[in-house]
Amino acid sequence: MAEAGGDDGRCVRLSADRAQALLADVDTLLFDCDGVLWRGETAGPGAPEALTALRARGKRLGFVTNNSSKTREAYAEKLKRLGFGGPAGPGAGLEVFRTAYCAALYLRQRLEGGGVPAKAYVLGSQALAAELEAVGIASVGVGPEPLQGAGPGDWLAEPLEPGVGAVVVGFDPHFSYAKLTKAVRYLQQPGCLLVGTNMDNRLPLEGGSYIAGTGCLVRAVEMAAQRQAEIIGKPSRFIFDCVAKEFGLNPDRTVMVGDRLDTDILLGVTCGLKTILTLTGVSSLEDVKGNQQSDCSSRNKMVPDFYVDSIADLIPALED
Amino acid sequence: MAEAGGDDGRCVRLSADRAQALLADVDTLLFDCDGVLWRGETAGPGAPEALTALRARGKRLGFVTNNSSKTREAYAEKLKRLGFGGPAGPGAGLEVFRTAYCAALYLRQRLEGGGVPAKAYVLGSQALAAELEAVGIASVGVGPEPLQGAGPGDWLAEPLEPGVGAVVVGFDPHFSYAKLTKAVRYLQQPGCLLVGTNMDNRLPLEGGSYIAGTGCLVRAVEMAAQRQAEIIGKPSRFIFDCVAKEFGLNPDRTVMVGDRLDTDILLGVTCGLKTILTLTGVSSLEDVKGNQQSDCSSRNKMVPDFYVDSIADLIPALED
């Protein structure tokens, strides 16, 4: 698969000419970060230059990530530190759309007018709790929660906080059986929502290593509660709706750039965006081929319009 | 569905006459415990009497449970305490087939001759570790494991025990993200097995309450490791093979009695046993009907030969 992808005219290599034509029709580019812009603390070669050139051409940039363990501001600070630019000062986080922030917006919508004070049981980080509090949702449960007592009777006798209207599951390094038990008890209460920030199975780190992702924790809660969580992150369209509302986006004039077919590219296809796969992360051209040749319609959808070896391939199209 | 079940002649009410005919052709009855013999610490009405009558008729009894948090002996003691009889003394546990015991036998088979000292990382109880040690498999990891350090780098730098050839997931009230991380790291080592004692999503308690079951923990590990666990418990046939070997069973002359279509009855059908559903637990006749009418072959299999309101219904067939 050297030049073009499969027989269906999709997954075409984005040459400088094609990139120029594409960018002429585009106002906004949304980027996944890890595996696209950087790995761990190292920016991809040419990636900062590509973004600088896009900004110089007046393109609006947005960063859409399933990571829930940093605030928008901390993320914006990392973008700056690694050379990707962006606004400074009080509006520093405005280009960053993270699941924690969008989960907070979603919960505010769902919980408001419910007559009860908005409160969530959070299996997640302090940053997730902070995003919730910023929109007026109190949180309980962040941090370690030791197992109390000797057996199931004691675990079920642990007091619950009154007024919890949602269980929110994000990346939680303090996840434990005790927390799982408590989450399930809240979920037995009438009307209690179950929201997961994302379903990523792994969080990739530098050097090819990885740790368990939020999806593993969401799945454990779902299985115990016998309920399906509402997922905020990619490929759920909620995170795009959130960006579209804040930016006033026209999907026709928007590109999604990512390294994963099952999150970034699927999100783009679902929301009617143009899509570019970069081969610097999780998915390969072999994966694309598998999806194109599959007889399964859900896999057929996970095919990008274009691919690049890395986003540095955009630079020639941006030079005069 | 008063007398008989669906159109296929299965799921027939086990009248005294039918029970007499059935029991004449049967040497061994295998029972699930929770929801069949008892709930929590309360024996079902007539259940001890039914088992006493079966023993008096010379039937061999076996108890097959997915519970992994007690030893065989502790289980036998509970059977005695609630009036279900059974052997005493050193052979007290011989009628009890639990996933912990069968997991130990399975691992001994798989790990022996591997050239490495048999050692397992156990997400489970002290009882599970004890069953493993009884067959010569050392275990590490039982009990609480606090999260060390501030972030992923520290978590991945935690030392691993040498020689771990399997990760075994059972019911673990000390399950945590730290343990999940460690399990995934062991599973990245070549040849490391992943074994789950069972896939039950919930552990039912008295009064209709429940806690999260082992399946939730197995699923989290599977998702992070991107591997499927080998499951020991019902409906996997390994647990029956284990009973059949120890008892020298003829499947044709064996009955499986249980309250769950998706574990007990499916196990019986898969292994060629006769099957009786008791309506004192999880599954209902409505569930049976749904399976009979489904166009899905995996659901069609989950239909018992017979059903009873409770196992006390067997008593009239056992009176002279």
Chain-chain contact of A224 with B202 (C-beta, under 8 angstroms): yes
Q: What ranges make up the beta strands (E) of A24-129?
A: 28-31, 38-39, 42-43, 60-65, 96-98, 119-123
Task: Compute the average pLDDT of residues B210-232.
Answer: 96
Across A59-63, A245-249, A305-309, B11-15, least confident range: A245-249
Q: What is the pLDDT of residue B117?
A: 54
Q: What is the pLDDT of residue A177?
A: 97
Q: Which residues contact A193 (CB under 8 A, 6 or more apart)?
A: A107, A110, A111, A165, A166, A167, A230
Q: What is the pLDDT of residue A116?
A: 53
Element (H, E) at A47: helix A47-56
- B155 in contact with A, Cβ within 8 Å: yes
B68 compared with A150, residue with greater pLDDT: A150
Looking at the domain A12-66+235-318, which fold is it? Rossmann fold (3.40.50)
Rounded Cα distance, A66 and A125, in Å: 14
Selecting among B25, B32, B287, B309, the annotated active-site residue is B32
pLDDT band at A1 (very low <50, low <70, confident <90, very high): very low
Q: How confident is the prediction for chain A on average, in pLDDT?
A: 91
Is residue A259 marked as binding?
yes
Across A9-18, B66-75, B100-109, B191-200, least confident range: B66-75
Which of A108, A45, A136, A32 shows the shortest CA–CA distance to A75?
A32
ipTM of the complex: 0.84
pLDDT band at A4 (very low <50, low <70, confident <90, very high): very low
CATH class of segment(s) B100-227 = alpha beta
Q: What ranges make up the beta strands (E) of chain B?
A: 12-13, 28-31, 38-39, 42-43, 60-65, 96-98, 119-123, 138-140, 166-169, 193-196, 202-204, 210-212, 230-231, 254-258, 274-278, 306-308
DSSP summary character for residue B150: S
| Distance to chain B for A223, nearest Cα, Å | 6
Indicate if A262 belongs to the active site.
no
Token reading at A123: 């299996």
- B176 in contact with A, Cβ within 8 Å: yes
- For residue A97, the SS3 value is strand
Task: Compute the average pLDDT of residues B80-93.
Answer: 88
> For chain A, how many residues are written?
320
Task: Compute the average pLDDT of residues B264-286.
Answer: 96
Task: Compute the average pLDDT of residues A103-117.
Answer: 76
User: Do B12-66+235-318 and B100-227 have matching folds?
Assistant: yes
- A170 in contact with B, Cβ within 8 Å: no
| Chain A residues within 8 A of B184 when measuring between CB atoms | 211-212
| Distance to chain B for A299, nearest Cα, Å | 18
Q: What is the pLDDT of residue A68?
A: 67
Q: Which residues contact A299 (CB under 8 A, 6 or more apart)?
A: A290, A291
**What residues are paired with A29 via a beta bridge?**
A61, A255
Chain-chain contact of A212 with B223 (C-beta, under 8 angstroms): yes
pLDDT band at B203 (very low <50, low <70, confident <90, very high): confident
Task: Compute the average pLDDT of residues A148-155.
Answer: 89
> For chain B, how many residues are written?
320
Place domain A100-231 in its CATH homologous superfamily.
Answer: HAD superfamily/HAD-like (3.40.50.1000)
Rounded Cα distance, B169 and A8, in Å: 45
Rounded Cα distance, A78 and A17, in Å: 32
Task: Compute the average pLDDT of residues A155-175.
Answer: 95
* Domain residue extents for chain B: 12-66+235-318, 100-227
Indicate if B32 belongs to the active site.
yes
Chain-chain contact of A216 with B224 (C-beta, under 8 angstroms): yes
Task: Compute the average pLDDT of residues A235-246.
Answer: 92
Rounded Cα distance, B195 and B183, in Å: 11
Neighbours of B255 (CB within 10 A): 21
Chain-chain contact of B173 with A147 (C-beta, under 8 angstroms): yes
Neighbours of B241 (CB within 10 A): 15
Task: Compute the average pLDDT of residues A113-137.
Answer: 86
Which pLDDT tens digit goes with each residue over A174-192? Answer: 999 999 999 999 999 999 9
**What residues are paired with A212 via a beta bridge?**
A202
- A298 in contact with B, Cβ within 8 Å: no
Q: What is the pLDDT of residue B7?
A: 57
B40 compared with B137, residue with greater pLDDT: B137
Task: Compute the average pLDDT of residues A52-62.
Answer: 96
| Chain A residues within 8 A of B215 when measuring between CB atoms | 223
Chain-chain contact of B203 with A155 (C-beta, under 8 angstroms): no
| Distance to chain A for B82, nearest Cα, Å | 20
Asked if B37 and B49 touch (Cβ cutoff 8 Å), the reply is no
Task: Compute the average pLDDT of residues A124-142.
Answer: 93
